[in-house]
Structure 1
Amino acid sequence: MQPKTLAELNDCSRQDFVAALANIFEYSPWIAEQAASQRPFAGVIPLFAAMKSAVDRATPELRLALIKAHPDLANKTQRAAGLTAESSAEQNSVGLDRLSDAEYDAFERVNNAYRAKFGFPYIVCVRRHTKDSILRDFERRLPNDGATETQVSIEEIGRIAALRLDQQVASEDRLKVHGRLSTHVLDTHSGKPAAGIAVELVELSELGSIRVVTRAITNSDGRTDQPLIGGRPVPIGRYELTFSVGRYFAERGVPLSDPPFLDSIPLRFSVSEPEGHLHVPLLVTPWSYATYRGS
């Protein structure tokens, strides 16, 4: 979908405004209808504030209807019936369309337990999570009471809406919904950035297979041309970043053992701040390496 500009949304008819933003909040065009009367908006930030304010002012019955408009996660029946394009893309982005049998059974168990207790679907902004962290969040929230979960669900719906609005409306101001994961390799043997090192980032999983997020080659500054993850939240979860250093040193004629003492270096780390900047550098020689949590 081509993003609308803020100017287009300010100038279009009320009907077109509502149609463009109808699914920012799942199956709830009444939120866009209320925001339409507050035009013109100076930026996407005040536009989102107006939409969120409509939710905050809504009656408890209307807020509950908003919660119930959302689908269960990884529900095969609902997927077959058809999700909104936004929900389908969001669930696919975290891999909920390709679960292992063990993962599917785990999601079915927690979905059923959650609905049995609260009477509405479990809602989380999946683009901020991995499959493992969603399952952990399920378990963490199940002991809550109904009032607490209602409020948590509304907060998660707000996060989902902010990301949808960021994708669908082009504006000079930006909502703070993106994070960044980056790396930098320093060859401390020669005292310079390490160019030409192959790096691979994978997402780890407790119940399924690992998932390759990206592969890249370090540039002349020892960095990748693009962040390992950027322009979106960095999903909460566990990762492994592998650096192919053996080939790098061999190609530079550095004396090495056979086989090399260090060939591929895997670094395992976790992400807990989806909208933050996490920097995972590597300082390496043919015989040692170090890392730290940068930003």
Structure 2
Amino acid sequence: MTETTLAELNTCSKPDFVAALANIFEYSPWIAEKAAERRPFAGVTELFAAMREVVEQAAPGQRLALIKAHPDLADKTKQGDMLTAESSAEQNSAGLDRLSEAEYQAFDRVNKAYREKFGFPYIVCVRRHTKDSILRDFARRLPNDAAIEIAASIAEICKIAALRTDLLVSGEHPLKVHGWLSTHVLDTHSGKPAAGIAVDLVELSDLGTSRIIARTVTNHDGRTDAPLIGGRPVPIGRYELRFSTASYFADRNVPLSDPPFLDVIPLQFSVYDPEGHLHVPLLVTPWSYGTYRGS
């Protein structure tokens, strides 16, 4: 999708409007076509609300067709032209293009079980999840009946569409779809912010390989220049922050044991609100550390 402005969408021809927003909802340009009749929009939030209302007012058969237009997750047989660029980017963002064999088998198993029960694909907004949380969501939803899952699928489709709209359209009243994950380090040995500590953010995985999401160094204020995750949802899942504290204290000529009692400090935590602000700080000396949930 090519980025555009709300002003352009408000004034362009109807065919151009539909072409620009055709894949906000997967393979369903009829939604943009109906929303175009409600122009002009005061903001991006109002634009998206109009498209969502079209979906909510659609006939049951249209909503089911919208659900069936989506691909299975992590399906090796549906690559290339069968995936929209948007779906491919979304699945890749969650690491679904590089699963371990155990993860692939788990996704294949739950995809088949879900389709066999409901007759349509399992849908979740993957940009709000990690691989592990998607599999947990599968398990929670599989016992539901079809009516509940149709409603859940439409809700997830709208979350996907909101994020696509946010990426595509700039203008007044932006959608509130971003989260924020940050940290800072306080050297309680010296009573000062700890500048120059190397920090890694790692997404943990039950069945696959954990992966580094961000790698940075604390600044003069003991914080990072940019959030560890920002400008997008913070995916639900388990994480570990790794702080290289021994080299920090050694650089400041603080006496340490050999080897250092604390070298790299790992803090494990979970994210449960993708649009929230989660702050995970470290309070550290050469011999102790602590943390708390900030915001």
Instruction: Give the Cα separation in 2 of the matches to 1:95 and 1:82.
Output: 19
SS in 2 for 1:76: coil
1:13 has 2:5 as partner? no
Summarize the alignment of residues 146-295 of structure 1 with structure 2, pairs less than 5 Å apart: 146-295=146-295
1:73 has 2:45 as partner? no
Deviation at 1:258, TM superposition (A): 1.1
Identity %: 76
Instruction: Give the Cα separation in 1 of the matches to 2:48 and 2:224.
Output: 33
Deviation at 1:22, TM superposition (A): 0.4
Deviation at 1:81, TM superposition (A): 4.7
When normalised by structure 1's length, the TM-score is 0.99
Deviation at 1:172, TM superposition (A): 2.7
SS in 2 for 1:37: helix
Deviation at 1:142, TM superposition (A): 0.2
5+ long unaligned stretches in structure 2: none
Bigger drift between 133-142 and 79-88 goes to 79-88
Summarize the alignment of residues 32-47 of structure 1 with structure 2, pairs less than 5 Å apart: 32-47=32-47
Which amino acid counterpart does residue 97 of structure 2 have in structure 1? D
Do 2:42 and 2:172's aligned partners in 1 also have CA atoms closer than 8 Å? no
Alignment deviations for residues 269-292 of structure 1 (CA, whole Å, 9 cap, x no partner)? 111000000100000011110000
Which amino acid counterpart does residue 160 of structure 2 have in structure 1? I
Aligned position for 2:95: 95
Which amino acid counterpart does residue 280 of structure 2 have in structure 1? V
1:53 has 2:53 as partner? yes
Aligned position for 1:3: 3
Deviation at 1:240, TM superposition (A): 0.7
Instruction: Give the Cα separation in 2 of the matches to 1:286 and 1:25.
Output: 53
Instruction: Give the Cα separation in 1 of the matches to 2:191 and 2:96.
Output: 44
Do 2:2 and 2:20's aligned partners in 1 also have CA atoms closer than 8 Å? no
Deviation at 1:80, TM superposition (A): 4.5
Alignment deviations for residues 124-147 of structure 1 (CA, whole Å, 9 cap, x no partner)? 000000000000000100000000
SS in 2 for 1:78: coil
1:143 has 2:143 as partner? yes
Aligned position for 1:132: 132
Instruction: Give the Cα separation in 2 of the matches to 1:172 and 1:284.
Output: 43
Alignment deviations for residues 181-237 of structure 1 (CA, whole Å, 9 cap, x no partner)? 000100011111000000001101011001110100000000000000000000000
Instruction: Give the Cα separation in 2 of the matches to 1:147 and 1:82.
Output: 27
Number of aligned residue pairs: 295
Instruction: Give the Cα separation in 1 of the matches to 2:265 and 2:48.
Output: 44
Instruction: Give the Cα separation in 2 of the matches to 1:153 and 1:207.
Output: 26
Bigger drift between 118-127 and 79-88 goes to 79-88
SS in 2 for 1:175: coil
Instruction: Give the Cα separation in 1 of the matches to 2:121 and 2:82.
Output: 16
SS in 1 for 2:202: strand
SS in 2 for 1:27: coil
Instruction: Give the Cα separation in 2 of the matches to 1:80 and 1:163.
Output: 22
